[in-house]
Amino acid sequence: MQRRKLGRSGLEVSALGLGCMGMSFSYGPPKDTKEMTSLLLAAVERGVTFFDTAEVYGPFINEELVGKALAPFRGQVVLATKFGFKLDPNRGPKWVGLDSRPEHIKQVAEASLKRLKVDAIDLFYQHRVDENVPIEDVAGAVKDLMREGKVKHFGLSEAGVQTIRRAHAVQPVTALQSEYSLWTRTPEKEVIPTLEELGIGLVPYSPLGKGFLTGKIDKKSTFDSSDFRSTLPRFTPEALKANQALIDLLGKIGQRKKATPAQIALAWLLAQKPWIVPIPGTTKLHRLDENIGAVAVELTSEDLREIDTAASKITAQGARYPENLEKLTGR
C-alpha cells in the first residue's frame, strides 16, 4: 500500500483509509461485531493504516469496535475520531444538536480515549461547525488537549474557508474531512485551493457517493428505513435514473483500464492531489479488496481530461442531504 502525508503536518497514512461508520450506524442495523473485527484486521494486513470513526456513530459502539479490534496495532495505525454533536442520553442516546463548547470537547476526548483504548487521539476532528461557539475557542480547546498529550492532530469536517483560516491561525489544522467525489465536487472551487495554500490535507468521505459510484445502485434500488439513504434527495428513483450517466462514464473508462467503476472513482480522487486520502467505507471483504485495488490504477493526464470533460456535462440531480443536515455543511 502506498503512503501519503496529510498536507505539511507530517502525518503519514495509507493512501486509502477505511471509513468505519457503516459497520455500526446509518447503513441499516449494526453489523456483526466478530465479522467487522475480522474486516478491520484484514484491512491492517493489506496495509491500511488510517481508520475513521466518531463518538456519534452508534453512538459510541463504533469507537468501541475500532478500539478493541485495533488494540494490538497501537503505534502502527492512525485512529481519527470526532467531537461536536450534542447527545441526549434519554433518547437512546441520540444527537439533538451541536455542542463544541471547550468543556464539552474535553469531556468527549476523555471518553473517546477510553473507548479507543489509546493514550492519545491521532486526529481529532470537529464533526460539524457550531455557530454558537467561536472557532478560535474550539481550536484553543484542541490545542490544550495537544499540550496535555491527549491529541496529536486537529481536524475540521465540512468547514467553509473562513472557518478553516480562523481555526488554522490558532492551531494548525492537519486535515479537513469533507464529502468529495465525482458526484460531489463542491470543494474544488474554494476549499481545495485554500487547503493547498495552508498545507492542510483533504480526507474525502463518501468518495464512492454513498455506494452509488460502485455502479451497483440504480433507479430500482430500494433502501430500508434504517438506511439513511432512504432520506436523501439524491437517492430518489428519479435522481438515481438521472445520475446514471456518471456510472456509464466510469464503466467506459473502467473497461479500458480493466478496473471497476468504484476503482476509477477512487483513482480519480487520488490523482487530484498527493495530499488527498479518501476513506471509503465498507462492511464486505471483497469490496475492501476492490477499493484497495484502486491505488494501483494509473490514470494518465489524457484519461483525467476525458473524465473531466465528460463529467462537466453531467449535473448531479438531488441535494446530497435533507435541508436540516445540508445547512450544517460549508459553514
Q: Please, what is the Cα angle at 42 between 36 and 46, to 5 degrees?
A: 145
Range of the domain at 186: 3-211+273-297
Identify which of 221, 173, 228, 224 has the alpha carbon closest to the alpha carbon of residue 201.
Answer: 173
Q: Is residue 132 part of a domain?
A: yes
Whole-number pLDDT of residue 315: 87
Q: Is residue 316 part of a domain?
A: no
Q: In 3-state terms, what secondary structure has residue 43?
A: helix
Hunting for cell 475513521 — which residue is that?
52
Dig out the grid coordinates for 54 from the structure: 466518531
Q: Is residue 265 part of a domain?
A: no
Which active-site residues does the annotation give?
Answer: 57
Q: How far apart are CA 213 and CA 265, in angstroms?
A: 7
Whole-number pLDDT of residue 170: 98
- Indicate the number of domains in the chain: 1
Q: Is residue 108 part of a domain?
A: yes
Q: Is residue 165 part of a domain?
A: yes
Share the mean pLDDT of the chain.
Answer: 96
Whole-number pLDDT of residue 246: 93
Residues 1/47, Cβ–Cβ less than 8 Å? yes
β-bridge pairing 50-52 and 18-19: parallel
CA dihedral over 22, 28, 32, 33, signed as positive or negative: positive
Whole-number pLDDT of residue 83: 98
Whole-number pLDDT of residue 92: 84
Q: Is residue 230 part of a domain?
A: no
Summarised one tens digit per residue, pLDDT across range 86-144 is 999 888 899 999 999 999 999 999 999 999 999 999 999 999 999 999 999 999 999 99
Packing angle, helices 301-312 and 244-257, rounded to 10: 160
Residues 232/320, Cβ–Cβ less than 8 Å? yes
pTM for the predicted model, two decimal places: 0.97
Q: Is residue 59 part of a domain?
A: yes
β-bridge pairing 50-52 and 78-83: parallel
- Model confidence at 278, pLDDT cuts 50, 70, 90, reads very high
Q: Is residue 242 part of a domain?
A: no
Dig out the grid coordinates for 153 from the structure: 492532530
Dig out the grid coordinates for 83 from the structure: 467531537
pLDDT tops 90 at residue 271: yes
Q: Which amino acid is at 86?
A: K
Strand partners, 94: 88
CATH code, domain carrying 103 = 3.20.20.100
